[in-house]
Structure 1
Amino acid sequence: MGLTSKTVLVLAIGLAVVLFAATVLIWPRLARRSAAAVFGRVGLLLVTQVTVFASVGLLANNSFLFYGSWSDLLGRQQEPGIVLDRTTGAAASRNILRVGMERPDVPGGSRPTAGGRIDKVVVAGRRSGIESPAYVYLPPEYFQSDYAHRNFPAVIVLTGYPGTSENLLKGLQYPRTALDRVKAGRAQPMILVMLRPTVAPPRDTECVDIAGGPKTETFFAKDLPQAVSDAYRVGRRARNWGIIGNSTGGYCALKIGLHHPNRFVASAGLSAYYRAAEDPTTGDLFHGDRSERERADLLWSLDHLPQPDSSFLVTTSRQGEGNYRSTRLFLAKVRAPAQVSSIVLNSGGHNFNTWRREIPSALEWMSSRLSED
């Protein structure tokens, strides 16, 4: 049973309740001063507290998906995401490989024509040399005869750091939300390419091309769209592509959209920050290159680089978010031909609950900016 399984959570809560009741019932029998009674009381308190803490921890993890699996929790995550030197030209292998399929957690999810399909893939970047796992959600229309010859718009969806791509499926429920928006007539069918920005774990590369290191920006801006367009019915023009993310993924989405308007017409940052982090998780990103450090500052880019003919969406909260002031600065610096929109909540923290409140409107906004090829 998986770490996020409801069965595991119910068993943990049930065990905690049973042990608590057992402690209440057995405690009077252990009210003696013998060594056995003392060890009995200590043992009951210990196992009861452990099960209670485990239940609370599992409940919090199921709500916010800090860890997606037991191996992730124990630090043994084996998910591929390494930098490789790859051959080019005629000897190069396929750029995207499907390694599994999942049913979307939606009504009719067992039938692709009703609920769509989720492909688990590994994407190989020929320019960047990066390989990374991803989930590709194909909407029901992709499998319906009326759409058999139609290309679909696509959206890259990014988690925060060091999140897992499963967070986008289970915690933030992107496929379910996208399907609901289409059924409500508020959005068009879109292909979602869901993954984490940590393509060279455990390093946080902040979606920049690091000299002598991972070429993360190249992977997301060039390799990933090309690989998906080669494998699925997705348009290849900027108007066919959007990118969205939360936290670190939000910074990456805005950065890549701002610097690559020839690839993405729309970019959305949920609770994003606007300058590349530099800390022990990132290492030395710029190696003293001032121009690259400035370019990774989105507020600097808006002041000093040409404004793209693209659309941006940013979100924040008046209370609970640390990016309120910087988001207002971003909004003030966007000028024509660029366009900018915002979602500003009265209150909301830097967490899954806040992002779940923003994602439906963000997907509707994204849909309105994208077009079929």
Structure 2
Amino acid sequence: VAALALLVNYYFGFYGSWDDLLGADTGTAEITAAGAAAGLRVLDSRAVPGGRIEEVTVPGASTRLSEEAYVFLPSAYVKQPRRRFPAILALTGYPGDPRNLMTRLDLPGRLAHAIALHQVGPAILVMMRPSVVLPRDTECVDVPHGPQALTYFATDVRQAVIAHYRVATGRDSWGVLGGSTGGYCALKIVMTRPDAFSAAVSLSGYYKTIVDGTTGDLFGGDRALADRNDLMWRLARLPPPPVDVLVTSSRKGEAGYLPTERFLDAVRPPMRASSLILPSGGHNFSTWNRELPQALPWLVQQLADQRPEGSPAR
């Protein structure tokens, strides 16, 4: 039982240390008002193969939320100082640890490898978790009288990254990738904000907000708000957005296979949907690692960068 508990904690990050688990960690920290910082703040920076990773905090100018993130800057970011790069917002599942996007999925390494093979051009990764007010699961919803999670990721994070880094500003230069809850968020962000994002990858994501003990009341009794967060409802009732999405699942071992097929059947132009369906696989990192060699390059290939006039084409 103890071994199983350790394994669960390792995957989901419930406790940061034994002292945390046993209640012996009594250290305190300075109170910081969310959004008080003028902009994105870099806490650490280190070289990695193919570029650099910066640990940052991203304050929300409009939502007053603040979250940690890890930003991968490809080596071209330093070598081409006049160029603006496309960006991908990468989200974990719930509760999530953004470091898993590096240690468990190796997104920076995969992207650097694809760039080195000339499969894709250089792009920036912004790696985060979607859980902005842990332990609550907000499902990337703008909660009435509560955390505005969707606005934080779709507006505040995007604006903060553009203000701090040389990131292309057009909608066709921004994409979202996520797994599980992060996959649902990725689809919802791109479908609700096609003015700011043009493409998304959902790894084993779902299509309707989960409401349970971890979420609490996300909609305040507002049925219309619940409908707008239901991606199948959006496809049936609203004009399709001009975006490209890739959804993944497995015929055996994934509860979301049939909902994924229904989602694909419901997509209409100008929205375009592609799929990556494995014969078998679970709802886990192992399955996503089998999908990412195709899914990550696909997403980067949908995005455009901004080069100075006279720069050679990729």
TM-score, length-normalised on structure 1?
Answer: 0.76
Structure 1 pair 72/176, CA: closer, same or farther in 2 (3 Å)? farther
Match of 2:148 in 1: 215
Structure 1 pair 271/123, CA: closer, same or farther in 2 (3 Å)? same
Match of 1:126 in 2: 61
Question: Which amino acid letter does the alignment assign opposite residue 57 of structure 2?
Answer: V
Match of 1:30 in 2: none
Which among 26, 40, 43 is matched to residue 99 of structure 1? 43
Distance 1:84 1:300 in 2: 37
RMSD over aligned Cα, in angstroms? Answer: 2.4
Q: Residue 42 of structure 2: SS of its match in structure 1? A: strand
What pairs with 1:31-70 in structure 2 (closer than 5 Å)?
54=3, 65-67=11-13, 70=16
* Residues 1:330 and 2:263 are matched in the alignment: yes
Structure 1 runs (4+) greater than 4 angstroms displaced: 75-78, 82-86
Distance 1:73 1:208 in 2: 33
Match of 2:299 in 1: 366
What pairs with 1:60-209 in structure 2 (closer than 5 Å)?
65-67=11-13, 70-71=16-17, 74-75=20-21, 84=33, 86=35, 93-104=37-48, 106=49, 115-144=50-79, 147-209=80-142
Which among 152, 157, 164 is matched to residue 224 of structure 1? 157
* Residues 1:292 and 2:236 are matched in the alignment: no
Q: Residue 287 of structure 1: SS of its match in structure 2? A: coil
Q: Residue 213 of structure 1: SS of its match in structure 2? A: coil
Question: Which amino acid letter does the alignment assign opposite residue 82 of structure 2?
Answer: H
Q: Residue 17 of structure 2: SS of its match in structure 1? A: helix
Distance 1:148 1:103 in 2: 17
1:224-249 per-position Cα deviation (integer Å, ceiling 9, x unaligned): 01100100010111011000100000
Distance 1:278 1:366 in 2: 29
Q: Residue 38 of structure 2: SS of its match in structure 1? A: coil
Structure 1 pair 155/73, CA: closer, same or farther in 2 (3 Å)? farther
Deviation (angstroms), 1:93 = 3.8
What pairs with 1:306-345 in structure 2 (closer than 5 Å)?
306-345=239-278
Structure with larger RCO (C-alpha < 8 A, sep 6+): 2
Structure 1 pair 72/235, CA: closer, same or farther in 2 (3 Å)? farther
Q: Which has the higher strand share?
A: 2
Deviation (angstroms), 1:188 = 1.4
Distance 2:45 2:18 in 1: 21
Distance 1:323 1:164 in 2: 23
- The higher radius of gyration belongs to 1
- 1:83–1:200 contact (8 Å) kept in structure 2: no
- 2:34–2:60 contact (8 Å) kept in structure 1: no
Q: Residue 294 of structure 1: SS of its match in structure 2? A: helix
Deviation (angstroms), 1:65 = 3.4
Distance 1:252 1:72 in 2: 32
Deviation (angstroms), 1:71 = 3.0
Distance 1:228 1:69 in 2: 29
Which among 213, 231, 237 is matched to residue 280 of structure 1? 213
Task: Could you tell me which runs of 5 or more consecutive residues in structure 2 were left unpaired when the two chains were aligned.
Answer: 307-314
Q: Residue 227 of structure 1: SS of its match in structure 2? A: helix
Deviation (angstroms), 1:268 = 1.1
Identity of aligned residues (%): 44
TM-score, length-normalised on structure 2?
Answer: 0.90
Structure 1 pair 341/225, CA: closer, same or farther in 2 (3 Å)? same
1:20-61 per-position Cα deviation (integer Å, ceiling 9, x unaligned): xxxxxxxxxxxxxxxxxxxxxxxxxxxxxx9xx65x877x57
Deviation (angstroms), 1:96 = 0.4
Deviation (angstroms), 1:101 = 1.7
- How many residue pairs are counted as aligned between the two chains? 301
